[in-house]
Structure 1
């Protein structure tokens, strides 16, 4: 199982189970490591005790053989045998091993026949050689029996071999010879007897042979001790883990999980609407502080809900008031549009009569110059007033969305050139040079009358604000995006930087056309021309832009679709604003608020 699988398994469980699993695994690993170390050292102690038993048995057997050889009194020999038997716990087997066949008195040896045992004897011989090179030679006692016995018990070099299958433990220890041992007791078999050697005033030492004493001890006790130690450690480990898990369960269950479950239950009840409930944890620790913080948060939330409820009530009243005002504004705007349309229509009839009668009056030959001038003033003022009324009527239609589009296929170059020729007399009066530039263009599918009206307003403004001796250029082209581009460029007074945002607004003109007091106009007009042009461009699915430099001139560019296939979705800014005001805003309102706003 990989790390991600373990993480996923732990992540899908609850906190209590996570704590038990993680703590149990960590505790089991720690206890296993500790008990393995204890088991290892216990086994070493048991083996050391077994080794000490082997050393004791070896010393016991050597002493037994020496007393058997040296003691001649039968009673003393029987007493010593009984004494040694009392201190012997097992029936040990003792054997002397060597690497040669030299016979020694009272010391019968044999060459090991088992390869492993032979290897042990050779290794012990090598260890003895290395020990002699690094220490004082052994066997330099004073020749007393105590010194010889002490040397015989020397355990600095030994070997052991445990054979569990045969239930045997073999302990090997080399024999450490003294000069007296080889000259008195264990001389070669061809030498004189022991007593003659003792009686000799100058005994001749003989080189000691290498001999190893092997003691065979039953291994069952050692094996049982090791197994009992292991079983005890495993039992203690299991009990320790089990008791630790019980303690952990109690600690996690009642100290950690229970307060958290209480907080969870309280939060669920609060989410269901029971905001009067509070968390009650009296543990005098961080959980109690958490419960107090939770209660403070809940109290602040209820206070915020109360404030929000009051604000909603106030907002409901404001929304109702605004809805009523919006409806009144919508009605007033509709009445205004109807009034402008009706009044413009009603005013045009008498104006046409006035203009007609002024033309008839001006054609009378009997009038003097002063009377004829008065008749021309009446005619000029009537036409200007009629133009203003037409502009107001067009703007009212645009804002009301009642302006109709009648697309047709026509030659744009012919229409624009004819329109330029129509206004050329006005430019000639001010000595203005009017130029028209057009490429060989295909037929355009647009509303001819609307384009003519756009061109009329742009040329009217250009002629009006271009001084005598100026220049006006008109150009049409087809862009790479398949759009119609109409450009009107003049060398007029230009538009100041601060007025570029207001020239498209209704009844607004640039401050450059006002006199010094800012109240009277130097140039006549209603201030509706550019506003009508922009609304008509939107109506035809296009846009208008301009570039201007004060005192140098202005360039207006109109871009429209070359083929007006579908009627563009059009609505004026004023209509959009009024519709938005009249329409209740239901975003973020509750169902009862929406129903009240709809009613």
Structure 2
């Protein structure tokens, strides 16, 4: 839908339009009231003349002469050829007069039922000319008052009694229309002149007093927007515009001070960024040297350690092959050499694995993996360690799980670490369960995954420690470390390997209720690390020694 752009109108034009409309409305309302009052005064002039005629007739100051009209003539209105007419209607003629003229009918009824003594109306003759009709009720009290006033022995009294006659005066006054037109001309002229004068005054006020300081401030703001912060506003009007000018100058001072502080802060930040970049480079180099040193040292340590393990195994086999009595102390010493060497080899392998992961030299070998075969092999591999401590080892795998496309060695390494930790921390007569289930695909959001979980009935892990155990060299129970060994790198390595396989690790545990470590791996892995696919025809056989 097309959006209309609003029309831009300057402040000066808005003020002039608004003030002009206000002036027009105010003057129009005022002139309408004046016009109505002047029209009423003009219309009242014929009424006043008719009332004077009626009073003069009552006092016998005038004679009717040829101005007298019969009831039939007066009932039809004022003839076009006459400007004045007077009709005297006696009380016995009221009924006949009411039938001749509706105005007379209303007048007679009003005078008969109320104490009103005069009515007034405007009519038109047959030629379309306006004339005025005035009816005066003459009661007995009026006649008495008129006689007393004529002799100078009385005063006007309130009307008393029914009307004895009605005096109908009809007159024409062409000056009323002329005066009304003249009044309108004067009113329109005065209104126009007053409006123009008011608009001119408002224009001068808005332009000189209101808009001039605004334009000055606008020009100053334009120069500030172009980068000139040294300019200052100088408005001396003694009102809010001067206050606004002072605030504007204070704002410029604040902006300049803030810019100065910001410039100093940027310079300091540039220095710190340079130092930080140098520190990052040094840290990167140190980390690189550390990784290379760790990998080289680990490799160099593994070579003599393998020789020690080999000779210790030869000694153990030779002691076992003897038919005669065997020195138990010597046999115990050889066993200690084997256990310590294997423990040291595991530590070196963990350090070497971490170094390879940090250096980004871990390859992901994608191959088909059967979840059923994988879990069964792991159960068989851990069964002896579990039986030695009377721990029940269970396997729960959903039927018809899909074949995984992932790195079998790394997948088995993660699960083997979960199972080893479970055996370490589960008390005797406990239970360890290895389970596998399918997490269906969410279209366009999440691919299908397989959840591989290891649950135990061990002591559990506190919520505040569940993130710590995935950090390097972290162990929560030093006594277990002394008993079973370990560097605190196992779960760190598992977390890194799970990320390389495009999966994740979840932990659900409560103190005293055991723990469940779950590996969520996609059915078709999208690994993060370098991918390497084995040649066609090669399976995914895994040896325990590769763990």
TM range (shorter): 0.7 to 0.9
Which residues in structure 2 correspond to 1:322-341 (within 5 Å)?
322-341=276-295
Q: Which residue of 2 aligns with 1:295?
A: 249
| Alpha carbons 1:483, 1:561 under 8 Å: kept | yes
1:524–1:167 distance in 2 versus 1, CA, 3 Å: closer
| TM-score normalised per structure 2 | 0.75
Q: Hey, what's the Cα distance between the residues in 2 that align with 1:526 and 1:175?
A: 130
Secondary structure of 2:362's partner?
A: coil
Q: Which residue of 2 aligns with 1:465?
A: 425
The alpha carbon displacement at 1:444 in A equals 2.8
Q: Which residue of 1 aligns with 2:452?
A: 486
Q: Hey, what's the Cα distance between the residues in 1 that align with 2:137 and 2:426?
A: 138
Q: Hey, what's the Cα distance between the residues in 1 that align with 2:121 and 2:428?
A: 133
Q: Which residue of 2 aligns with 1:589?
A: none
Q: Which residue of 2 aligns with 1:576?
A: none
Q: Hey, what's the Cα distance between the residues in 2 that align with 1:238 and 1:413?
A: 102
Q: Hey, what's the Cα distance between the residues in 2 that align with 1:555 and 1:248?
A: 84
The alpha carbon displacement at 1:233 in A equals 1.2
Q: Hey, what's the Cα distance between the residues in 2 that align with 1:559 and 1:510?
A: 25
Which residues in structure 2 correspond to 1:137-148 (within 5 Å)?
none
Q: Hey, what's the Cα distance between the residues in 2 that align with 1:563 and 1:223?
A: 104
Q: Which residue of 1 aligns with 2:359?
A: 400
Q: Hey, what's the Cα distance between the residues in 2 that align with 1:446 and 1:470?
A: 32
1:54–1:391 distance in 2 versus 1, CA, 3 Å: same
The alpha carbon displacement at 1:346 in A equals 2.0
Secondary structure of 1:457's partner?
A: helix
Secondary structure of 2:307's partner?
A: helix
1:123–1:331 distance in 2 versus 1, CA, 3 Å: same
1:422–1:96 distance in 2 versus 1, CA, 3 Å: closer
Q: Hey, what's the Cα distance between the residues in 2 that align with 1:54 and 1:477?
A: 116
| Alpha carbons 1:124, 1:158 under 8 Å: kept | no
| 1:513 corresponds to 2:482 | no
- 2:199 alignment partner, one of 209, 230, 245: 245
| Alpha carbons 1:472, 1:491 under 8 Å: kept | yes
1:24–1:373 distance in 2 versus 1, CA, 3 Å: same
| Alpha carbons 2:120, 2:132 under 8 Å: kept | no
Which residues in structure 2 correspond to 1:201-240 (within 5 Å)?
212=167, 214=169, 216-217=171-172, 219-240=173-194
The alpha carbon displacement at 1:122 in A equals 4.9
1:397–1:235 distance in 2 versus 1, CA, 3 Å: same
1:412–1:118 distance in 2 versus 1, CA, 3 Å: closer
| 1:542 corresponds to 2:508 | no
The alpha carbon displacement at 1:244 in A equals 0.6
Partner deviation per Cα, 1:346-389 (whole Å, 9 max, x = no partner): 22222222212222233335774433433333233222222211
The alpha carbon displacement at 1:559 in A equals 2.1
> Which of the pair has more CA radius of gyration?
1
1:480–1:493 distance in 2 versus 1, CA, 3 Å: same
Partner deviation per Cα, 1:235-262 (whole Å, 9 max, x = no partner): 1111111111111111111111111111
Q: Hey, what's the Cα distance between the residues in 2 that align with 1:425 and 1:295?
A: 86
Secondary structure of 2:237's partner?
A: coil
Q: Which residue of 1 aligns with 2:493?
A: 532
| Alpha carbons 1:433, 1:469 under 8 Å: kept | yes
Mean CA deviation greater in 12-21 or 331-340: 12-21
| 1:451 corresponds to 2:447 | no
Mean CA deviation greater in 352-361 or 304-313: 352-361
Q: Which residue of 2 aligns with 1:305?
A: 259
| 1:475 corresponds to 2:435 | yes
Secondary structure of 2:422's partner?
A: helix
Q: Which residue of 2 aligns with 1:272?
A: 226
Is there any run of 5+ residues in structure 2 with no aligned partner, and where?
Answer: 67-80, 144-162, 442-447, 531-547
Q: Hey, what's the Cα distance between the residues in 2 that align with 1:470 and 1:60?
A: 136
| 1:417 corresponds to 2:376 | yes
Mean CA deviation greater in 370-379 or 291-300: 370-379
| TM-score normalised per structure 1 | 0.69
The alpha carbon displacement at 1:406 in A equals 1.0
| 1:376 corresponds to 2:335 | yes
1:34–1:498 distance in 2 versus 1, CA, 3 Å: closer
Q: Hey, what's the Cα distance between the residues in 2 that align with 1:415 and 1:93?
A: 130
Q: Hey, what's the Cα distance between the residues in 1 that align with 2:388 and 2:65?
A: 163
Q: Which residue of 2 aligns with 1:348?
A: 302
Q: Which residue of 2 aligns with 1:24?
A: 20
Q: Which residue of 2 aligns with 1:557?
A: 518
The alpha carbon displacement at 1:175 in A equals 8.9
